[in-house]
Amino acid sequence: MKAYTITRDNLGAWLDALARDYTLIAPVREEETVSLFKPVSGFAEINLGYTNSTVSPKGWLFPQTEEMFFFSTGDGQITLADAQTPGPAVLFGLRPCDIKGILVLDPVFNGAYQDCYYQKRRQNTILVGLSCTRVERHCFCTSMGGGPTDGGGADLLLTEMDGGYGLEALTSRGEELIHRYQDYFIPDRDNRVTAAREELGKKLAGQFTRAVDTTGVKEFLDENFELPYWGELARRCLGCGICTYICPTCHCFDIFDQSPDGESGVRSRCWDSCMFSHFTRMAGGHNPRPTKKERVRNRFLHKLKYHRDRYNLDGCVGCGRCVTRCPVNIDIRQIIADLQEVARHE
């Protein structure tokens, strides 16, 4: 695949053009400490200096709340009308861990029953990655098989380099997008872009404050469901669910109807969390995961074992968001290390 360079000025102009032709979703700084992905009207709103958005960008493909269809009753008939799905979009500025997060969600929404809502957005969205330029204290993507300049899964990967940016086309869809706006780009004939990105990757690899070794953790969990360890962890967990909302790979949802007049309304879905007690509570009160111990265990087993069992992919991409945001400092890196430790003493 081909690489190009683009000047800073042209990058701004290109993004303005993209915002005119597509729905452009990009990282925006909302307040000093919160960064989010939102539809933008042009380059001026985009924050390229962020490292990790507070909430993962999965919400473009799998919105926090999403209308599924409208229903109405009249003349004793039920009419169902599909909610509108957005047209062509560019999801711009995805960090490598978040691109990987999308690859973790893909098989969930695919399969024998295709999730049309996710699939339509996914097919209509071009993914543009953005290599990291620094490593945050809580990042551990390299421990989960990723890396700060690994754009795998994106259509295009943008990397900051001397005098501007490099842009690598990783898919034919990415190549087509560049072709459409070719005036902004200069073909990179001597592999400078790839070399610069690889160099950056090497430099950043040395900046991770903490690496974890996941070897054998899944195999240990295969054999050990009951561990006193989960109880210890659960005593600290508040059950607030923040970890699941900001995670790029969590996909649990609830479905609900709204019908103010009882005759017409909308069925929607919204993010839900296995950290909440009602998540598995059944009519009549029986709850198979009645305490935080079972719920904490479920979350970490999902990340480290269940997703692998079902899809052969880790359920965690090492973005570190849940580590940063957990009010009581529950740290999945520590959990992996602790499980290694418990396994050694078994």
Partner 1 sequence: MSNCHCRNPLKPYPATIVKIIDETPDVKTFQMVFDDPSVMESFRQKPGQVAQLSVFGVGEATISITSSPTRKGILEFSVKKVGMLTGALHRLEPGSKVGIRGPYGNHFPYEVMKGKDLLFIGGGIGLAPLRALIDFVLAEENRGDYGKVDIIYGARSMDDLCFKYDILDRWPKMPGTTVYTTIDRAEPGWEGHVGFVPAYLEEINPSPENKYAITCGPPIMIKFVLQALEKMGFSDDQVVTTLELKMKCGIGKCGRCNIGSKYVCLDGPVFYLSQLKQLPPEF
Binding site for ligand FAD (CB under 6 A): 282-283
Among ligand FAD, ligand SF4, partner 1, none, the one that 105 touches (CB under a kind-dependent 5 to 8 A) is: none
Among ligand FAD, partner 1, ligand SF4, none, the one that 120 touches (CB under a kind-dependent 5 to 8 A) is: partner 1
Least CB distance to ligand FAD at residue 266 (A) = 17
Query: Strand pairing partners for 156?
Result: 128, 169
Among partner 1, ligand SF4, ligand FAD, none, the one that 114 touches (CB under a kind-dependent 5 to 8 A) is: partner 1
| Cβ pair 197, 149 in contact under 8 A | yes
Q: Is 163 in the site for partner 1 (CB under 8 A)?
A: no
Of 163, 206, 228, 262, the residue at the interface with partner 1 (CB under 8 A) is 262
Nearest to 343 by CA among 230, 224, 211: 224
Least CB distance to ligand FAD at residue 283 (A) = 3
Q: Is 228 in the site for partner 1 (CB under 8 A)?
A: no
- 175, exposed or middle or buried, with CB in 10 Å at 0-12, 13-18, 19+? middle
Q: Is 281 in the site for partner 1 (CB under 8 A)?
A: yes
Minimum CB distance to partner 1 smaller for 9 or for 219: 219
Q: Residue 196: enclosing H or E segment and its boundaries?
A: helix 192-205
**Residues in 113-152 at the binding interface with partner 1, rule: CB under 8 A:** 113-117, 119-120, 122-123
- Residue 281 DSSP code: P
Structure tokens at 184: 């902004």
Identity of the residue numbered 94: L
Structure tokens at 35: 């960064």
Q: Is 234 in the site for partner 1 (CB under 8 A)?
A: no
Helical packing angle, 228-236 and 292-301, nearest 10°? 110
Q: Is 187 in the site for ligand SF4 (CB under 6 A)?
A: no
CA dist., res. 126 & res. 109, Å (int): 18
Least CB distance to ligand SF4 at residue 200 (A) = 22
Among partner 1, ligand SF4, ligand FAD, none, the one that 279 touches (CB under a kind-dependent 5 to 8 A) is: partner 1
Among ligand FAD, ligand SF4, partner 1, none, the one that 73 touches (CB under a kind-dependent 5 to 8 A) is: partner 1
For the chain, where are the E strands, in sequence order?
A: 3-6, 23-29, 35-40, 65-74, 77-82, 89-94, 125-130, 156-161, 164-169, 186-187, 253-258, 264-271
Of 163, 206, 228, 288, the residue at the interface with partner 1 (CB under 8 A) is 288
Least CB distance to ligand SF4 at residue 285 (A) = 23
Residues 6+ apart with CB under 8 A from 277: 239, 287, 289, 290, 295
Site string for ligand SF4, 228-247 (x = CB under 6 A): ---------xxxxxxx--xx
Nearest to 96 by CA among 128, 123, 63, 64: 128
28 Rama class: left (phi>0) / alpha (psi -120 to 50) / beta: beta
| Cβ pair 69, 267 in contact under 8 A | yes
Among ligand FAD, ligand SF4, partner 1, none, the one that 335 touches (CB under a kind-dependent 5 to 8 A) is: none
Nearest to 30 by CA among 12, 15, 45, 19: 45
With contacts defined by CB under 6 A, name the span among 27-35, 70-78, 277-285, 325-333 that binds ligand SF4: 325-333
CA dist., res. 35 & res. 52, Å (int): 8
Contact footprint for ligand SF4 (CB under 6 A): 237-243, 246-249, 275, 303, 316-322, 326-328, 330, 332
Contact footprint for partner 1 (CB under 8 A): 68-69, 71, 73, 76-78, 80, 82, 108-109, 111-117, 119-120, 122-123, 225, 251-257, 259, 262-263, 265, 267, 269, 272, 274, 279-284, 286, 288-289, 294, 298, 301-302, 305-306, 309-310
